[in-house]
Structure 1
Amino acid sequence: MTSEFPDRAAPALLALDAAIAATGLHVETRERPKLERVIARSLQPGATRIDDATFRAALCTVRRKPWGSRLMDLTRRAGQVWVTRADTEAAAVSVDDPEPDDARLLSALAPVLRQKLRAQGDTPRVAVENIRADLFDGTGRTLAPAELRTLAVAVADAFALPDADAFAAELEREDASRKDRDTQIEDTARARRREEVLRLREWEKSLVPFSDVPGLLRCSHREALRWIAENRLPVARRVPQADGQERWEFDPTELMALRQQLPQWRREGQETPSRTPLAPDLGNRRVGNAVIAQVAALDRYAAHFRTARALNRRITLVTGPTNSGKSHTALDALARAESGLALAPLRLLAHEFRESLTARGVPTSLATGEERIDVPGSRHLAATVEMCPLNNPVDVAIIDEAQMLTDPDRGAAWTAAIMGAPARHLFILGAPDCIPMVRRIAELCGDPVDEIRLERKSPLVAAERSVSLHELQKHDALIAFSRREVLDLRALLLAQGKRVAVVYGALSPEVRRAEAQRFNDGDADILIATDAIGMGLNLTIRRVVFAALRKYDGNQTRDLNPQEVKQIGGRAGRYGKHEQGVVAVLEGVGSPSFIHAMLAAPPQPIEDMRPQVQPDADIVQAVAAEIGSDSLFGVLVRIRRAVLRRDDPNYRLANMEQAFAIATALEGVADLTLAQRWVYAMCPVDDRDNGIQRLVHWAADHAAGNAVPPPGTGRLPPPERAERTELERAEKRHKRLVAWRWLALRFPEAYVNREEAEATTARLNDWIEDVLRQQSIRARAPRISPFSPDNRASPPGRGKRGAPSKDKRPHRKRR
């Protein structure tokens, strides 16, 4: 027999046998090894016996985990699906009878549940809704009627309501009504989608081939080809063929409507030099798209921004690596201007732009997706890129992080901002990788470009060897690529007595800034972060240490590319704080030579030089009017099918999958205008926590004329006792509040109580920051250190083959 205390093994065994004989309590064979270890720790030197109370306490200690499991089984059978393992474990701790029956266990659980439910909200109804929201967020589960009644009765008991049955009955009626509404929404959506698809198919069946065009227009084959090349005849659809050619199809109704214009076209053709007829493959020449494309005009996207095109714009492209002073150069010019605009990729950076301008004595307002700060008399605005105002000319504008032009989720916003910013002098800031794309956009706009290339103010070097966890020092930043990995590493370092700050994407800008401040002020020795630190946050990092050299990008797990290593690693060695920046890799994760190679690599060529574009509200309305439909689903289907050719030489349609998914789900919500549906489709939600379904529920209440109350905080335990699951729940609630506040700025008549939502957001932020600040948090470290000799090649969140962790799924980027 092995034991942690081999010198006490025999006394513990003797004490155990004696205690069993004295008390008559039954002990399972599988329990004996654990009991011996517990008893060994409590034995005095030389003793071979323990008293009955000590033995009973030891037996309770060993049996608490099975009791928790038994309680989980009992509550599930009773329909209490909202009871968590943390609840049952808390109840098991209070049991002091080593042989309790089920009634005794349930009796211990009852006060734990009453306290939990009472803490879920200020009123019984709010408590029920918060419990339901947590279940829906965590698992997508909705309560069955019997489960809802069980919960309602338990909440009524916790709040000491006089009539629990009446409260439960009221909730059941509301739930049945809600489910009927959801069913009706789904059925209506299905029918409307079918109608739009049939409409599209009927239209496609009505199309005729190019061979029919001369007969319909009573023109020659040569004339038809010329008019197509001149964008006069719309090609309704291009069908790729197996030989690489395209079959052109035309809408006969549209062609017949153009007949009266043919004499004028012929006269104009006689006045211009004759052209060589164009064959259907057309090489690289632009030809007319369908009438939908002509209405949307995405193939002439730059012309969509009329205010910007009316200005004599000049572009200054300022490029350089991290820590080269790009923002300082542009902000000085912006501060000197009489009017100006600063566009940032994140709300946090928009705030920093505003603070920088205010510190220079320039009154500046703020506009982000979820908040506004209007400064009376200000002629400068700091905003997120998506909030770029397009109709108010200014003297100077800044657009930061232009390398985001290639981002698959938000690249179209940078295209729109660069093409549409109504500034006489536009400063575009970014990494050197963005230079070719910005030049291409400037060419499409007809704007002249001058370039300023900056170098780092302090050197950046790659470490010669890897770094172990024990070697991490003050001012080091450890980089992982998921929330789970960050928190696993945090637990390991806290166990070593380190003071730690963390930054990852699920945290709000306010919490990220607070954590960064703790690190900068020396209240935390080490920062653990995801690539969320790659943009923004002024950090006094001396050394960046990568805890992983591969990341899951939403589609696949791949090696980090040079731009990512430079962007993140470039945060090391802040000018004026450290003489140089060092970039290293954690021991067991990969080779330092990889870091050397990435830092030395030239900018990666951009695979597709066509900027991403997507429709806006005006384009959506125009297409809807053209096809005679108020269905956003139908409009987006037509835009995806007809607006841009796949081989368009200038533009490519951005990824609009989430907008399309929201539009599809909203089809069954009656009494929303097309414009309102488009606003909902643009709302930043995370579908990993059922964000689209929640959005549909909110939209249905809005359409019915009901107020949509802001989400609450739910139960917030004392920060020092918060578990990781409770932290994640609070982060999800914050995401809900972000989406709600975003909608409240656009639909204030439906999304009321903004002040309450902002106060709730502040409470959540404070609580989350308090949890992260706790240096004695009870976060459990992994049983096997990710960097132990047995698991050297497996950083947190990955298996030995580098498989992505389960929590890494694509989501909507924060704005």
Structure 2
Amino acid sequence: MNLSPAELALQKALQETSITLTAQEEPRLLKLIARNLQPEQTEIPPATFNKLLCIVRRKDWAKHLNKQIQKENKHWIQSEDIAWAVSFIHDPSPNEESLQSALDQALHTRLRQSGKSANDAFQTLYTDLLDSGKPIIGSKSLRLMAQDVALAFNLEPDDTEHFIEDIIYQEQKQQQKDHEIHQKARDRKKDEIKKQREWEDSLVSFKEIPTLLHCSHKEVLRWIAENKIPVAQKIKKHGKDIWRFDPKEIKALRPQISNWRNGSPVKEKKNAFINLGDLNIKNKVLASVAAMDRFAGHFVTARSLKRRITIVTGPTNSGKSYTALKTMAESESGIALAPLRLLAHEFKEALNERDIATSLKTGEERQLIPNSKFLAATVEMCPMDNPVDVALIDEAQMLTDPDRGAAWTAAIMGVPARHVFVLGSPECIPIVKNIARLCDDPWEEISLQRKSVLQTASSPIRLNQLHAGDALIAFSRREVLDLRAILMQKGHRVAVIYGALSPEVRRAEAKRFNDGEAEILIATDAIGMGLNLSIKRVIFSTIYKFDGTSRRLLTSQEVKQIGGRAGRYGKHETGTVGLLAGAGDPDFIRRQLEAAPEKQKDLRPLVQPDSDIVQLIANEINSDSLFGVLTRLKRAVLRPDDPNYRLAPMEETFAIASALEGVQGLELKNRWTYSVCPVDDRDNGIQRLIRWAADHAAGKTVAAPSSGKLPNPSQASRQELERAEKRHKRLVAWRWLSLRFPDIYPDLESAEKTTRELNDWIESVLRQQRRKAEL
């Protein structure tokens, strides 16, 4: 049997080195030798052989080191530390000491890059560890981690011991504080739940009211209809409405009975406004006090105007925004409300291009132009006081979103504009009409057609058939980055857009794609709103999406919203929507694009309280507990079968409110502000927020999160990119709070500078078009 040149070279090298290969190593090594041999060559230099054998054995070394750090519970050692360590081992048969030495060198190098001092590096390392979701480490592991940091910074033995002991002391102190806050929160929650149950147990039925008020049943019914008698709780039992009443409040009404009998009954209008500044309101139904079952009446300025609503619907690329902005530009004043900070910026720029000075207001930034009568803002920042001529509220299909839908309800009901343009897909029409009815506002509808042709691909599209102008859609960060790596290996220049990226980075990536610097865009459904993209074809890599609860098929609205980005008007006459080969039924995309608008099962708009309503309920139930207020709101203020409104789930708000119960010394209105701060509990967001709130309550300032020292973008791993994205999230929450509590969260300018540095670094990493080898 004739041996190949590579086999001959391997055989000679093994004889010279006396190295034994495993069955798995030999075929991999043969491939590498074959690539390195010159024509007619049958020998390989010893140094080259050793180098190639090290490449083959790196995975096994990495597995060995990974098992070792798992055994020692050193969660702070990252996969890139291991990858860096094994890449610098040049002995194909290293001993345990050599492997550990290489790992120590890699770890210490990273630690020195993560902070200016040992303490800074430790805090960055520890925060990253908590945000990664790794288990909270015990004192033994904490000591080892501090020791690694001390070794990285070459601290002297005495300084090392002092540093480690100080870290242990501070962490034990913090954990004790966290425990006390948690215990206090648990105890207060029990008390509030007990109070709620006692209150509910004290309620009486309708038939007992005549006895308590010394009146007839007929009079009771009339006075309830006139909102003179408060219904404390409305429940449905066996299909029947059951009203329950607070006997203390009922008895307090006795002195007013004679006046009620002598006066003529006046029925309140459905949306009559309760004066939220009057904190002495008594003997009202909690729902009326909070104005939740007559939510439209809460917005006194909007209700005082003669408003009209224009519902502008149409698919993507139909010119909805243009229609509304044109009318706004011709008016004296206006408000443009967007679902994303990025889109708010685009509205501001669109008005600026028409020589209209426009202010900007989002959750984490303010750009206020003196004397400007125009504002671009995110929906949650909608001002409710100063009347304007025209308002634009975009992406109204978000009304049904459980997390943010209540913000659209409040904006449409409360924006103080004489002419309100509500923009969205056709699915939003019924619920917007219902809101108009609740506001007693006249409405009209404008239906727009797509300006460029949209077609479906005739057959599935393979990866090797992608070309310039294509957008490949995935539904997770991991899938986006995996596809990016595959396409870069095939020689494509790629841009990416996904939810964890800041608006600034998304815009930079979009610009690279639009300018042709990147041929292909890989994105999640984050491209569905707020970006102008010059896409020829949208290609779905999957027809399934995990929505936080389950993995499900894409809805027709999702396919239309994302697929509609293909064929941007003015750039491409035709847009094509297709499916990646092997991703599912090829006809699925066509069926979803052609499907009729989905009918909403529940047309009641979602609502949630604001700070005024929270304070009023607190006064009414005599409690300073945010958890208690929200519990009463959920259980008694707005019943689930209310005919007009639905209470938003507010799950994260409840979670934060529950945790805040253990923080003493924080006013109720400030607790409410913290409870609606944008955080992600998957990144330890709530625990970090509670620590900040505890410092706030103690009168301490909260330093802005650090970006840490960032490695060269060309050498950054996927894990380092993810850490930078999480650090950016911390800064977003901190900046959001800084705008509301500037004395507690000072030096906003420095935090904004750090944010820009992180954005620039992340964008530089994404610009790298050569895939970094990762284990």
Q: Does 1:429 align with 2:423?
A: yes
Distance (whole Å) between structure 1 residues aligned to residue 569 and residue 76 of structure 2: 52
Distance (whole Å) between structure 2 residues aligned to residue 198 and residue 446 of structure 1: 41
Residue identity opposite 2:15 in structure 1 = A
Q: Does 1:11 align with 2:11?
A: no
Contact 1:289 1:642 in 2 (8 A): no
Deviations 1:208-259 (A, max 9, x none): 2233222222222333333334433222223433x32244322111111112
Contact 2:249 2:283 in 1 (8 A): no
Q: How does 1:535-684 map to 2 (within 5 A)?
A: 535-684=529-678
Distance (whole Å) between structure 2 residues aligned to residue 64 and residue 651 of structure 1: 61
Residue identity opposite 1:763 in structure 2 = E
Q: CA deviation at 1:78?
A: 5.3
Residue identity opposite 2:12 in structure 1 = A
Q: CA deviation at 1:76?
A: 4.9
Match in the other structure for 2:220: 224
Contact 2:312 2:445 in 1 (8 A): yes
Q: 1:669 to 1:378 in 2, by over 3 A?
A: same
Q: 1:646 to 1:135 in 2, by over 3 A?
A: same
Match in the other structure for 1:763: 757
Match in the other structure for 2:243: 248
Match in the other structure for 1:353: 347
Aligned mate of 2:441, from 441, 447, 460: 447
What's the secondary structure of 1:576's corresponding residue? coil
Match in the other structure for 2:113: 119
Distance (whole Å) between structure 2 residues aligned to residue 546 and residue 289 of structure 1: 58
Q: 1:463 to 1:410 in 2, by over 3 A?
A: same
Match in the other structure for 1:204: 200
Contact 2:250 2:283 in 1 (8 A): no
Residue identity opposite 2:325 in structure 1 = L
Q: 1:27 to 1:600 in 2, by over 3 A?
A: closer
Residue identity opposite 1:332 in structure 2 = K
Q: 1:43 to 1:245 in 2, by over 3 A?
A: same
Q: CA deviation at 1:170?
A: 1.7
Q: CA deviation at 1:147?
A: 2.3
Contact 1:79 1:150 in 2 (8 A): no
Match in the other structure for 1:186: 182
- Stretches of structure 1 that go unaligned for 5 or more consecutive residues are 274-287, 782-815
Distance (whole Å) between structure 2 residues aligned to residue 30 and residue 453 of structure 1: 65
Q: 1:608 to 1:115 in 2, by over 3 A?
A: same
> After alignment, is 659-668 or 369-378 more displaced?
369-378
Deviations 1:400-440 (A, max 9, x none): 11111111111100110011101122221111221111111
Contact 1:341 1:381 in 2 (8 A): yes
Q: 1:427 to 1:53 in 2, by over 3 A?
A: closer
Q: CA deviation at 1:77?
A: 5.2
> After alignment, is 427-436 or 214-223 more displaced?
214-223
Q: Does 1:737 align with 2:734?
A: no
Q: 1:70 to 1:230 in 2, by over 3 A?
A: same
Residue identity opposite 1:86 in structure 2 = E
Q: 1:49 to 1:319 in 2, by over 3 A?
A: closer
Q: Does 1:502 align with 2:499?
A: no
Aligned mate of 1:259, from 254, 263, 274: 254
Q: 1:33 to 1:575 in 2, by over 3 A?
A: closer
Q: CA deviation at 1:154?
A: 2.5
Aligned mate of 1:481, from 455, 463, 475: 475
What's the secondary structure of 1:676's corresponding residue? helix
Contact 2:112 2:121 in 1 (8 A): yes
Contact 1:75 1:81 in 2 (8 A): yes
Match in the other structure for 1:294: 288
Residue identity opposite 2:261 in structure 1 = R
Contact 1:519 1:525 in 2 (8 A): yes
What's the secondary structure of 1:127's corresponding residue? helix
Residue identity opposite 2:335 in structure 1 = L
Distance (whole Å) between structure 1 residues aligned to residue 18 and residue 259 of structure 2: 110
Match in the other structure for 2:163: 167
Match in the other structure for 1:800: none
Aligned mate of 2:229, from 224, 230, 233: 233
Q: Does 1:395 align with 2:389?
A: yes
Q: 1:170 to 1:522 in 2, by over 3 A?
A: same
Aligned mate of 2:710, from 685, 708, 716: 716
Distance (whole Å) between structure 2 residues aligned to residue 466 and residue 586 of structure 1: 5
Q: 1:397 to 1:44 in 2, by over 3 A?
A: closer
What's the secondary structure of 1:338's corresponding residue? coil
Residue identity opposite 2:607 in structure 1 = V
Q: CA deviation at 1:505?
A: 0.9
Q: CA deviation at 1:158?
A: 2.5
> Structure 1 vs Structure 2: percent identity of aligned residues?
58
Q: CA deviation at 1:49?
A: 5.4
Q: CA deviation at 1:596?
A: 2.2
Q: CA deviation at 1:63?
A: 3.0
What's the secondary structure of 2:360's corresponding residue? strand
Residue identity opposite 1:688 in structure 2 = R
Match in the other structure for 1:527: 521
Q: TM-score, normalised by structure 2?
A: 0.93
Q: 1:140 to 1:82 in 2, by over 3 A?
A: closer
Residue identity opposite 1:691 in structure 2 = G
Contact 2:228 2:283 in 1 (8 A): no
Q: CA deviation at 1:165?
A: 1.4
Contact 1:671 1:704 in 2 (8 A): yes
Residue identity opposite 1:111 in structure 2 = Q
Residue identity opposite 2:174 in structure 1 = R
Distance (whole Å) between structure 1 residues aligned to residue 59 and residue 266 of structure 2: 89
Q: 1:42 to 1:455 in 2, by over 3 A?
A: closer
Q: 1:38 to 1:754 in 2, by over 3 A?
A: same
What's the secondary structure of 2:103's corresponding residue? helix
What's the secondary structure of 1:720's corresponding residue? helix
Residue identity opposite 2:252 in structure 1 = A
- Stretches of structure 2 that go unaligned for 5 or more consecutive residues are 268-281
What's the secondary structure of 1:367's corresponding residue? strand
Contact 1:724 1:779 in 2 (8 A): no
Contact 1:132 1:142 in 2 (8 A): no
Q: 1:230 to 1:484 in 2, by over 3 A?
A: same
Distance (whole Å) between structure 2 residues aligned to residue 458 and residue 73 of structure 1: 56
Distance (whole Å) between structure 1 residues aligned to residue 48 and residue 283 of structure 2: 85
What's the secondary structure of 1:142's corresponding residue? coil
Aligned mate of 2:313, from 316, 319, 334: 319
Q: Does 1:377 align with 2:333?
A: no
Match in the other structure for 2:172: 176
Distance (whole Å) between structure 2 residues aligned to residue 715 and residue 311 of structure 1: 54
Q: CA deviation at 1:8?
A: 4.1
Deviations 1:494-532 (A, max 9, x none): 111111111111110001101111111111111111111
Distance (whole Å) between structure 2 residues aligned to residue 187 and residue 341 of structure 1: 46
Q: 1:737 to 1:70 in 2, by over 3 A?
A: same
Q: CA deviation at 1:389?
A: 0.7
Distance (whole Å) between structure 1 residues aligned to residue 87 and residue 424 of structure 2: 56
What's the secondary structure of 2:293's corresponding residue? helix
What's the secondary structure of 1:139's corresponding residue? coil
Distance (whole Å) between structure 2 residues aligned to residue 750 and residue 186 of structure 1: 23
Match in the other structure for 1:93: 87
Residue identity opposite 1:245 in structure 2 = K
Q: CA deviation at 1:148?
A: 2.4
> After alignment, is 693-702 or 676-685 more displaced?
693-702
Q: CA RMSD in A?
A: 2.4
Contact 1:114 1:155 in 2 (8 A): yes
Distance (whole Å) between structure 1 residues aligned to residue 302 and residue 126 of structure 2: 49
Q: 1:644 to 1:586 in 2, by over 3 A?
A: same
Q: 1:223 to 1:576 in 2, by over 3 A?
A: same
Distance (whole Å) between structure 1 residues aligned to residue 8 and residue 127 of structure 2: 53
Q: 1:715 to 1:272 in 2, by over 3 A?
A: closer
What's the secondary structure of 2:294's corresponding residue? helix
What's the secondary structure of 1:147's corresponding residue? helix
Residue identity opposite 2:526 in structure 1 = A
